[in-house]
Structure formats: structure tokens, C-alpha cells
Amino acid sequence: MSSTPGLDVLHWRIMRNVDHPEAALGPNREIREAARCVQCGKCSSGCPVAFESVHTPRQVMRFLQWGWAQEAATSPFVWLCAECQACTVRCPRGIDVAETMLALRRLARRKSWVRPDHFHEALEAMISKKGRVEELRLGVMAALSKWPRHPLEDLLLFVKMLRRGRLK
Amino acid sequence: MKYLFYPGCSLKGTARDYEESLLAVAPLLGLELEELQGWRCCGSSAARSKDLNWAYSLSARTIATARERGMDLLMACPACYANHLRALKAEQSGDESTDLDSAGPGPRVKHLLEVLAFDVGPDEIRRRTVRPLPGIRAVPYYGCLVTRPFPLGGVESRENPKAMEAIVEATGAVALSFPPKGDCCGGALLFSHEAVALKLTASILEQAKDLSADCLVVVCPLCHFMLDAKQRAAEREVRRRFGLPVLYLTQWLGLAMDVDLRKLGIHRLVTSPAPLLHKRGAREPLLSVESLLGTLRLRLRGATSRIGRQ
Amino acid sequence: MEKVVPKIGIFVRDPGGRMAASLDLPGMLKRLGKAKNVTRVCLLADLAGNASLSSVAEGIRNGEYDRVLWVGRFNTEQQKAVEGYLEGFGLNKYLHMWCDIEEQGALNQKVASEVREKKALRLIQMALARTRLLEPLAPLEIPAVDAAMVVGGGIAGLQTALSLVELGKKVHLVEKESGVGGKVAALHRFYPRLCDPLCGLQFVVDRLRASDRIHFHTLSQVVSIDGGPGRFQVRISRRPRFVDLQRCNACGECVEACPVEIPRTPEYGAFGSWAPLEGAPRKAIGPACPMSFPTAFVVQREHCAPGCKECEIACPAGAVNLEETATHEDVEVGAIFVTTGWDPYPLSRVEEFGYGLYPRVLSNLEMERLLGGDLPPLDEVGFIQCVGSRDERHLHYCSTVCCSATLKQIRFLKDRMPHVRCYVFYQDIRSPGFQEELYQEVKALEGVIFVRGTPSTVRPDGDSGRLMVRAEDTLSGKEIRLALDLLVLAGGMVPSRGTEELAQVLNLPRNRWGFFEAHLQCHPEESQRTGIYVGGCSREPMNVSQSIDSAHRAAMEGLAFLSGTVLVSPTYPLVDKTKCDKCKRCMEECPFAAFHFDREGFPEPDLAKCRQCGNCVGICPLAAVSLRHMTIKQIAAQVQEAAASFLPEGEPQVLAFLCQNDAYHAARAAVEQGLPVPPNVIFVKVPCAGYVNNALIADALAFGIDGVLIAGCQDGQCHYVTGNQLVRKRSDDLSDKLQKMMIERDRVRFVNLEIRDSVGYVELTRSFVEELMAMGPNPFKL
């Protein structure tokens, strides 16, 4: 995914809902669950990547409470979520926060607010067409598509894995 | 105890040693594993990021087959395990947002750790331990998906599970108390946000190192990849040497049951297990040039232990 | 008993000629005069002044009629005055029938005059039908004991006892522990005046001790209960104290002699109850806990060394008796007050905060005790609010006191250690009313930081013993990482174990959180068992001043059963034993568990427990239960009269049963507001929608009524708890019955109405009438 897909919309200073045509949240249950969130911040507190991007998971839930589905779905946080479930397991309102992030990814894809990059397209194709993931190919594509790169380190690891028979 | 074994993509690739060690120790623990023919990828997190129905459909076939065969499913990879459990629950709850139809009482989907801790049990493991590992300080590292969101075996704590500790202690070793045992290793972010992923991996290694651990024991192929194969990269990220061997729980059990090291895939580990084997008292010669070099490197840097941050 | 032939006098009062304007009054009176059992019909000029009334009285005196039907609008004061006056002439108060035809829309000039006439007559005929079957009744006096029992000797129990004792009632106070005081005795201070709780407790205790009407039963529990309000028979079991209450003077010689030291546990002290964390070691014998009242010591026998008798030997007063056994006592009381209080929620269940794992993570109760003793060196102290409360994984509700408790603790901590930094992690700060001042005061203290954001995990900071806490400061969106010397979890309240145990013994319903169910606003301290009152935290989490309020209120409410006699209105249920087949449905469905078995195994209501809602009448599948003065025969007779047609051909006739608490008022208001209420509806007022027996509905339809409407209160608002729902439950039985009768199921409708919803009443009656018109007439119509 593009590394900063939501950056443009982050420049708004004033919260206005008139400018946002996506005010309706739609039928997605996870997105509607956000209404029950009390903004306690426990999700952010336990999240390993909460402070690695501009938004915390709680802030994303807040966007949903305002009905700003696009801001939420294109927030860099949504693509940074590691699905570790630490948030879900601690939410006092019983909201499946991790699933909400995934639901937002799905929404973004459905509405074409983001486009998957080559790596993810290839991964999905591999899963649906081949039914198995070939890690060798995947690893190579990842190495080529990711940023930043450590070519020497990657090459060394590649060789080590190959020698240990862990790449097919 | 017979199980339908669903390996998943990693166990056939980068986590080959996990499968090897599992197949080596399973018969010794009374587990009969039949690999599911024609299994398909569970979709990992990629499928669920795209389309929920697609994701469920990927697991549906496996579940249906197990149901037909009347067998419980055994999975080693927590992501595959969680995905299948989700699909099963969605099916049984009659979730209207999915295309799944409940076709009757489901097969049970079990993770290997659950089977080892509850079906086999620490007492049995103690009985089968022929070469205990006394004084070895092992860090039981669970990672995310085996503890959350589904409590292991339906009963374990999701904040403070003790299943692996019980098993490690049954083999005579010291299971260190490790509060970050359920913290995320960052594996899911490896391909999209490597720096962040390595930061998380490094944090776990650091905290283990601070406890003077001899090794980490894991049950997830992705965690293993990060902690073992990517240990050097993690070291680079935080500028600290670790040199901590990372073993699969099955490899660990293999050591305790004195299984041939090659059969356990020990030679496939990237981060040299030499210090651990040395402490255990390895009788076999060192296995590869890398291991030899690795041990030398570690000895030179005096990084076999580094206590605390004080 | 010979059958009484009723003689009815009908008196119509029409001030201002409203009835005469809409109806052919003389014609109607003539027709009424010919009705069965009617011996006199009269249009009264005026009821003011005794002229008219004395003419009515004359008829009673000379035996012309033995009961009276009044037609017209009479307000409550007039009714009472009339009943009182005529009672003097020998007319029992229950032999009056009051019929207001106006409230049923009979005077509505927008309706065709023919319909109006017929309807008015119909209404009076209905009233007549019931009047014929009236019986003279008198209120009962059930002898009652003027002693009360209070279960639970915490602040609420002590206050209840005090309120009752000061009103001259005898009180049995039953307390599980060896001493009174409850959880308040474990507190360091309480707000708002930040006084020492022992002072407050001592104040109450001193006044109690001064009275000779109170009997303390410590180390005691209620094991069984029999009887009913006014005369409950309660059995109390008492664990041995091993020390004579009269002889012990708390000199302490035994404590010195005792060789056994009891290890302290952080939550509960040595005696399974509250004791200071620090201080002299507790021995197996010692003062009562939590408060040393009664003053006699107590022995914890399970800690004694085998064969040891040091305390018995050492006691100069010979007060120790190690051979004492458990006993029980039976007491009779008029009312029972339950004040069993709360327990702290086990915080180890909120695993993410490491309570029980790390010694420096404390509960707020433990912090109270720490503040009362020596404080360790502290620099950074954290408080996490809402731990376990407001959490779907634990307690869904707010525990009310924790925010103020934390604020109070910070005040005291800062007083003792001005340099300490305090962090409060909160979701909302709830310090209502005048406690806002406490909040503002604490907020402004130096070194106190409020973080709106809850941490997710607590980790040990290396080997230092300190705790690492990470949170999002939601107000700034920034990450907070703190190393704390002490972490206090503001844990919540759950009903005490005593509450659970007592609920079983007393068969007291509890709400979904396990607290005793009370009918809030209407009767906050009254439980669903007449004569049993609940107060304090056993009802819901509350602070000390609220507990005291609640306790006092419970005492006042319960006085009704402590005055020597219980007055019971004579309109209680009667079971027709010739019809009853002992199916026990009435016993099971009674919302107040008022029925018990009589000697022959028939259900019999305890007249003091019964609240006369009539749900038993409704539930009986054989229609064997009646309420006196509103017997099923009386209502059935009304139903039969109502079936006679008063509408033109093709117009459906509707009989409505309206609950007198809500639906009836809505219907009345609709007429008074001049709304277009369809004239097709005739209603019968019932005490509760649950009164309506299926037999009455079946009758109505069998007699040709096109549609039956039953209107009760909204769910959750029924004064008799579930009356409105019980009626819906029975609709399954009804469907079968209707099917056998080959009548459309939709001819019977159950609705909920609120008291002012006159518009709703009009809408639903209109739509019902329309649907019935579409369905066509009742096939049973003659």
C-alpha cells in the first residue's frame, strides 16, 4: 500500500462535516460499533505501533464517531496495524478494534480510496490462484518493493536461508 | 491421539524446521498426524484485508474436510489457527454478513500448543523427557495470535498464559517470567513497515537478554522468523548484540527427548544455537561452518550474556 | 349461607345538566327502573348539603335497597364523604358502585345520539351487573410484632437499627463478623468532611448502646425464614465466640499469653475481615473485627495450637470458654431490613494491571489502609480509575464512589508527602454535586496530573520493583510512559457474599448485577417481598452518606409492619377450592411470592405479603382465583353486559381492559381532551393488565364482542413488576383457545400505553376498529 495514503486529508484544521460526502458510515457492523467507544485510550495504550504513525487507534475510532469513514480508512494507522489483538482483548466496550481496522482496509479497497501495491497484488494472486504462498518469490518481491532497503543484509540472509533449505 | 494436520505455507517454506521437529517429536508424544491432502493457504492477513467472504472461503474447505473425516484439526501456525477458528465461529454463529452456512457441529480447530499443554499434558512430557535441561533459562514467548483473541484451549488467560511455562518446566529447565511474552514481534509488518517490525522484534530480544536468557522458545513461524532469521537486522536497528538462540517448542521438546539434532532441523537455525547446545552439553560435533563461525563471533564479542541496563 | 337477593338503588347526579344535554335522561331512568334487582332510581339534585344524602340514607334505613349505584362524575373526596356518611346508616363502604359514563365518551355529541343513548345504558347495565354481586367487606387487622431484624452490621445496618430504636422499636441486629462496622471501618477517611470513619461509627454505636431495645447478634447469620410481614419467624445461627460477652472487659491479658501469631494478608486482616496492615501482630485471640464493638474479645479457633489453653488460664475474669459450641436462636419480627453491603471486585481478574502479580499494585481499599499507617518512601504514585467498572468484561456499571475516593486519597497523600507526584488515569471524573469542589481542589494541587487515558498494561521496571505504565494521553494524542513507585487501582463494588447467601434464604430477587432489586423511584427501599426492605450498598453502589440516607429511608418505609398490627385492605385474593386443581401457577407467577400452601395443599395468599395486583386472577387457567370486590364473576357479568349491541350494523364492538395505573388514565385524558376516540370502545378498569384472565377474553368473544384490547404499562414500568408481560406470555394459551373457537387471533390485542399517551390511545383504538371492520363481524355475533 502507498506508504502515506491519508496524508492529504490530514491537513484539515477545522472539523467540518459539510465537506465530507462520505458522512454515512454504511452497513458495515464493525464500523458502526465505533459508536459505543468511550475513547478511553486502552487500545492505544497496548498497541505496539500506536505511536508509529500520525494517528492512534483511538483517534481512528474517533473519526468513525464523526462519520468520517474515508479519513479513517485512509489513515496510515490502518495500514500499520499488526492485528496483534491487544486492543480487542482490553476494550471495555467489547469492541473488536483490530477487526475494525481490517474492515476499514476492506472499505478502502471497495471504494477504491487506495490501491494495493505490486507486492500485495502479487500476494493475493498467489493465494487465490496457486492456493499456496511461495515464500521465495514473495521474499524477492518484498525485498524489491520495500523501503528502506538494506541490500547487503537482505542478500546475506537470502543466502543463509537458501543454504539452510528454508527457501523453496 | 489422531489429528488432521494442516501445515500452512510457512511450514513448507521458511519454517521447515518447525514441521520437521513436529513430525519428529509427535510420535514420541503419542500424537498421530495425518497431513491434509491438497490443503490451501488460509489467506493470512492479506485475504482478510481484502474481502471477508474470500477469507472465510479459504478456510471453509479445510473445515469441511475435517468435519467429513470426523477429525480434529491441528495447526502449528497461530495465524492459520486463528483464521480457521474465525471462519468456524462465523459459520456457527450464522453470521449474516458471510456466505457461510452452518453445516452441523464443527470439527475442533486446535493449535499445537493447546494439544501439547492440554491433550498431552506436562506430566506426560515429564515422563518422556530422557535428557532434561536443568539450569537452562528459557523464555517462553507466545506472541499474539496464540493467546488472543481466542483463549488457548478456551480456558487459558489471554494476558498471562502459562501453558508453555508448564511444558518448559516439565523438561527440567527454568521458564523465565517474561511479562512481554504476549507482545507483538512485528512479524505482520515485515513486508510493509520493516523498520517498525524490527523495532518490536528488537524489544523482545532486548528484554529477554536483560533477563540473562539462554534462549527463546516460540510456537509461531512468523515470530521465529523475526526473532531468529531477522535477529541480525534487529541488532542493527537498535545497535545491540543479542546472540540469542530461538527454538521452536517442538525443537525444544526434541532436545529433551534426545532426538537427533538434524531431525529437529536445528541446523537450519540462522542464529546459532551453539551456546545453548554447549550449555546443555552437546555431544555431537558442531554442524556447519556458520555455526562454528557464529560461536567464535559470539565468544569474541563476549556477548553470551549481558545483564541489565544499569 | 342463604343467597342474598340484592336490592339496588340507582342515584344519578347531573350538575349543570351535562348528561341531560346529551341523553334522554328521563327515558333512561325509566328503563333502569325496570332493570332486575333495581328498587329505586332517582335523579339527585345536588350532593352538597345533606338534603339529598339524607334521602338516600332513608332508603337504606328502611331497607328499600341494600346497595347503591352512583351514576355521574364524583371525585375522590366526594366518594369518601358519601361512603363515610352512609356508613353511619349501616351501608358497608364496599357496597357502593361508582359509574362515570362521561369518561367512556358517552356524552360525546359528535357521536350519533342513538349510539350515545345505547352506550350510556350499556355502561350503566355493566355497572349494575357488578353491583348485584358486591359483598360487604371490612379491612383486616393482622397482629404484628413490633420488633425488627436488621441483617448486616455495617454503617447502613447500624443506621437502620438506630432509626428504628429511636422510634421505640426493638431491633435484632445480625452481623456475620465478630464486630460491627463493615467496610467503613476499614477506610482511612471518608468524604465530604474527610472525617475518620471510626468517629462516625462510634457515634452511631454509642447511641445504640445507650438503648435497651437493641440486641446484637454477632458471628451470626440468618439461616431460615418463615411466616410473613408482621410476623416473620427467623432462625439465626451463631458461631461460637469462645469469650463471654458479659464477662470480658478487654483487659488484654489473654493476648499477651497467646502464643500464636496470625499472618496478615493484605486484603483481609487476620480475622477474615478488616484489620490494619501494620501494627502489632494479631494473635489468635483479640478484639472484635472490624470494629471492636461488642467489646468482648473473640478467638479464632482455627489458628489455635492444639491443646493450648493459655488464654483461658490467663483471663482474670474467667471469660474465655474454649469449649463453646455453635447455637441458634429463633426470633419473631415484623419486618426485615437487609443491609448486607458490598465486597471489592477481585482485581486479579483484571489481569492486564498485574494485581496480585506485583506487590506494588494495590487496590483502593488497600491504599486506604496504607494511608492509615506508615507510608513507604514514594515519589511517583499512579491511580487508574474504572478498573473493572464500566467494563463489559467485568462490571458493566459504574461503582459510584471510586472517583471521589481517589481524589480524597490524593488529598491525604499530598498532605503527608507534599513532594509526591500523583497521576490519575481516568475516563471520566465523576464527583457529582458538591464533590465538584473536591475535584477542583485536588486538580489544582502541585504535582498532580490528570491523564485522560487508560493504560493497557503494567510491566515491572527491571528488578527495581517499580512499575512501568504506558498510556495514550488522549487529550494531546501523545504517548505517556511512566515509572511508578506505587500503582493504585480504583476497583469497583460487587454485592457481598452475604448478599448472595441471604438472597437464597429470603428468596429475594436480585437484578442482573446481583444487587437486590428495588422498584426505584416508586419504592426505592422496598424489595419484591413485602415486609423486607433493602438499603445501602446491597441495593447499589453508593457512598457513606447515601448509605445512611438509604438506611434511614428503609427504616421509615418498614414502620408499617412494626406498629403492632398490619392493616390489610379487604380486596385480597380468594381461591375457589372447588375449582382449584393445585397446578401452582398462581404461586409461581406471583411477582411477590405471596402464596404458600395451606394445610390441604391449596394455594393461600399471605395477606400481609400480597399487594393485590390481581396477577393470580389472570394466570389461573381455571379462573379459580378472584380478588374480593373485583371477583371474576363480577367482571364476567360486566363482560356479558358489554356484549349487548349498542352500535349500528357493521360497526365492530370493542371491549378494552385498561390497567388502572397508566392505560386507564390515557383513555380518560383522551376523552377530556376531546380527541376523536372511537365510540366503539367500552373499557373496564383493572388493577393490572395481568389481572385479565383468558376466560374473560374468551367469554367476551363468545358473547359476540368483535375485538378485545388489553392495555398495560410499558415494559419495565409495571408497578407489579411483570404484570404487563405475564399477560403476553399467556397469549400462547389464548391462541389455542381461539383456534378451537375458530376465531381470528387478531381479534385480541395486547398493547403498552404510558399514562399521558392519550394520542396513542386514540390511534390504537382507531386502527383496531378499522382492522376489525375489515375482518368482519365476530362469527359468534347474534
Sheet holding C38-44, edge to edge: C38-44, C8-13, C67-71, C96-99
In a domain, C34, yes or no: no
Rg of chain B in Å (alpha carbons): 19
In a domain, C79, yes or no: no
Please name the residues between 75 and 94 in chain A that touch chain C, using a CB distance below 8 Å: 86, 90, 92-94
> What confidence category does residue A23 fall into, taking pLDDT thresholds of 50, 70 and 90?
very low
Gap from B203 CA to chain C (nearest CA, Å): 14
> For residue A58, which residues of chain C lie inside 8 Å, CB to CB?
472, 474
Gap from B186 CA to chain A (nearest CA, Å): 7
User: What is the reported pLDDT for C280?
Assistant: 64
> For residue B161, which residues of chain C lie inside 8 Å, CB to CB?
none
In a domain, C694, yes or no: yes
pLDDT at A10 over 70: no
The verdict on a CB contact (< 8 Å) between A120 and B270 is no
**Bridge partners (DSSP) listed for residue A45:** none
Q: According to the CATH classification, is domain A8-110 in 1.10.1060.10?
A: yes
Of C351, C462, C463, the CB nearest to B160: C351
For residue C97, give the H/E element and its range. strand C96-99
Phi, psi dihedral angles at B58 (to 5 degrees): -65, -35
C414 and C471 share one domain: yes
Handedness of CA B296, B297, B301, B304 (dihedral sign): negative
Mean pLDDT value across chain B: 88
pLDDT at A8 over 60: no
C393 near A CB under 8 A: yes
Handedness of CA A11, A16, A20, A26 (dihedral sign): positive
Gap from C474 CA to chain A (nearest CA, Å): 6
Decide: helix, strand or coil at residue C361.
Answer: strand
C382 near A CB under 8 A: no
Length of chain A: 168
**Bridge partners (DSSP) listed for residue C377:** none
Given a contact cutoff of 8 angstroms between Cβ atoms, the answer to whether C380 and C485 are in contact is: yes
> What confidence category does residue A3 fall into, taking pLDDT thresholds of 50, 70 and 90?
very low
Helices (H), C99-252: 113-132, 155-166, 197-209
Interface test with A, best of B192, B194, B222, B225 (most A CBs within 10 A): B192
C354 near A CB under 8 A: no
Q: Is C26 exposed, middle or buried (0-12, 13-18, 19+ CB in 10 A)?
A: exposed
> For residue B41, which residues of chain A lie inside 8 Å, CB to CB?
126-127, 130-133
Instruction: Write the single-letter amino acid at B256.
Output: A
Share of residues in chain B with pLDDT > 70 (%): 87
The verdict on a CB contact (< 8 Å) between C456 and A39 is no
In a domain, C4, yes or no: no
User: What is the reported pLDDT for B99?
Assistant: 61
Decide: helix, strand or coil at residue A27.
Answer: coil
Structural domains counted in chain C:
3
Q: Which residue, C670, C665, C751, C675, is CA-closest to C708? A: C751
Phi, psi dihedral angles at A160 (to 5 degrees): -60, -45
- Whichever domain contains C460, its CATH number is 3.50.50.60
- Give the domain-ending residue among C510, C542, C561: C561
Please name the residues between 106 and 135 in chain C that touch chain B, using a CB distance below 8 Å: none
pLDDT tens by residue, A79-125: 999 999 999 999 999 999 999 999 999 999 988 998 887 778 888 88
Gap from C513 CA to chain B (nearest CA, Å): 24
- Residue ranges per domain, chain A? 8-110, 118-163
> For residue C352, which residues of chain B lie inside 8 Å, CB to CB?
159
What's the whole-number mean pLDDT along residues B85-94? 85
Q: Which residue, A32, A28, A79, A19, is CA-closest to A55? A: A79
Of C452, C471, C477, the CB nearest to A45: C471
Give every CB contact of residue C77 below 8 A, 6+ residues apart in sequence.
none
Domain that holds residue C481: 346-491
Nearest CA in chain B to C459: B179
In a domain, C141, yes or no: no
> For residue B10, which residues of chain A lie inside 8 Å, CB to CB?
135
Q: Which ranges of chain C have pLDDT less than 50? A: 267-277
Q: How far apart are alpha carbons C42 and C70 in whole angstroms?
A: 10
pLDDT at B146 over 80: yes
User: What is the reported pLDDT for C439?
Assistant: 95
The verdict on a CB contact (< 8 Å) between C352 and A90 is yes
Q: Which residue, C225, C509, C491, C549, is CA-closest to C353? A: C491
pLDDT tens by residue, B156-209: 999 999 999 999 999 999 999 999 999 999 999 988 889 999 999 999 999 999
C519 and C410 share one domain: no
Q: How far apart are alpha carbons A154 and A152 in whole angstroms?
A: 5
Q: Is B71 exposed, middle or buried (0-12, 13-18, 19+ CB in 10 A)?
A: middle
Give buried/exposed letters for A112-138 (b at 16+ CB in 10 A, else e): ebbebeebbebbbebbbeeeebebbeb
**Bridge partners (DSSP) listed for residue C459:** C468
Nearest CA in chain C to A38: C427
Nearest CA in chain C to B309: C462
Q: How far apart are alpha carbons C107 and C100 in whole angstroms?
A: 11
Architecture per CATH, B2-113 = Up-down Bundle (1.20)
If one counts every other C-beta atom within 10 angstroms of the C-beta of residue C3, the result is 5
Please give the torsion angle defined by the CA atoms of residues C508, C510, C514 and C515, in that order, rounded to the nearest 10 degrees. -90
C349 near A CB under 8 A: no
Pairing state between β C458-460 and C467-473: antiparallel
Rg of chain A in Å (alpha carbons): 18
C429 and C519 share one domain: no
Gap from A132 CA to chain B (nearest CA, Å): 5
CATH of domain B131-297: 3.40.50.11810
Nearest CA in chain C to A55: C477
Nearest CA in chain B to A132: B41
C465 and C520 share one domain: no
- Give the domain-ending residue among C544, C561, C578: C561
C351 near B CB under 8 A: yes
Q: How far apart are alpha carbons B98 and C34 in whole angstroms?
A: 74
Task: Render B145-176 in DSSP notation, one character per residue.
Answer: TTTSSSPGGGTS-SSS--HHHHHHHHTT-EE-
User: What is the reported pLDDT for C550?
Assistant: 94
C398 and C477 share one domain: yes
C597 and C528 share one domain: no
User: Could you tell me which chains touch chain C, where touching means 3 or more CB pairs under 8 A?
Assistant: A, B
Identify the DSSP state of C321. Answer: -
pLDDT at B305 over 50: no
| Least confident piece of the model among B28-32, B233-237, C182-186 | C182-186
User: What is the reported pLDDT for A4?
Assistant: 42
Of C386, C455, C472, the CB nearest to A50: C472
Nearest CA in chain C to A93: C392
C481 near B CB under 8 A: no
Nearest CA in chain C to B307: C462
**Bridge partners (DSSP) listed for residue C237:** C221, C328
Of A38, A44, A93, the CB nearest to C472: A44
Which residue in this structure is represented by grid cell 457474599?
A: C497
The verdict on a CB contact (< 8 Å) between C357 and B159 is no
Gap from A64 CA to chain B (nearest CA, Å): 18
User: What is the reported pLDDT for B283?
Assistant: 56
> For residue A50, which residues of chain C lie inside 8 Å, CB to CB?
472, 479
Give every CB contact of residue C266 below 8 A, 6+ residues apart in sequence.
C277, C362, C366
Q: What's the pTM value of the predicted model, to 2 decimals?
A: 0.83
Interface of B with C (CB under 8 A): 157-160, 179-180, 210, 308-310
C597 and C657 share one domain: yes
The verdict on a CB contact (< 8 Å) between C459 and B179 is yes
Phi, psi dihedral angles at B172 (to 5 degrees): 90, 0
Task: Render B103-115 in DSSP notation, one character per residue.
Answer: -SSPPPEEEHHHI
> For residue B158, which residues of chain A lie inside 8 Å, CB to CB?
89
Instruction: Write the single-letter amino acid at A17.
Output: N
A39 near C CB under 8 A: yes
Which residue in this structure is represented by grid cell 492444639?
A: C306
User: What is the reported pLDDT for A128?
Assistant: 83
Give buried/exposed letters for B151-186 (b at 16+ CB in 10 A, else e): ebbeebebbbbbbbbbbbbbbebbbbebbbbbbbbb
> What confidence category does residue B285 fall into, taking pLDDT thresholds of 50, 70 and 90?
low
Which residue in this structure is represented by grid cell 471497495?
A: A110
C462 near B CB under 8 A: yes
> For residue C459, which residues of chain B lie inside 8 Å, CB to CB?
179-180
Q: How far apart are alpha carbons C460 and C484 in whole angstroms?
A: 10
The verdict on a CB contact (< 8 Å) between A166 and B15 is yes
Q: How far apart are alpha carbons A114 and C322 in whole angstroms?
A: 81
C451 and C531 share one domain: no
User: Could you tell me which chains touch chain A, where touching means 3 or more CB pairs under 8 A?
Assistant: B, C
Whether the ipTM is more than 0.90: the answer is: no
Measured at the CA of C268, the angle between CA C265 and CA C271, to 5 degrees, comes to 95
Sheet holding C231-238, edge to edge: C220-228, C231-238, C327-333
C477 near A CB under 8 A: yes
For residue C96, give the H/E element and its range. strand C96-99
User: What is the reported pLDDT for C270?
Assistant: 29
pLDDT at B308 over 70: no
Q: How far apart are alpha carbons C154 and C291 in whole angstroms?
A: 10
Which residue in this structure is represented by grid cell 394445610?
A: C599
> For residue B179, which residues of chain C lie inside 8 Å, CB to CB?
457, 459-460
Given a contact cutoff of 8 angstroms between Cβ atoms, the answer to whether C646 and C118 are in contact is: yes
Q: How far apart are alpha carbons B255 and B251 in whole angstroms?
A: 6
The verdict on a CB contact (< 8 Å) between C454 and A51 is no
In a domain, C157, yes or no: yes
C582 and C712 share one domain: yes
Residue pairs between chains A and B whose CB atoms are closer than 8 Å: 140
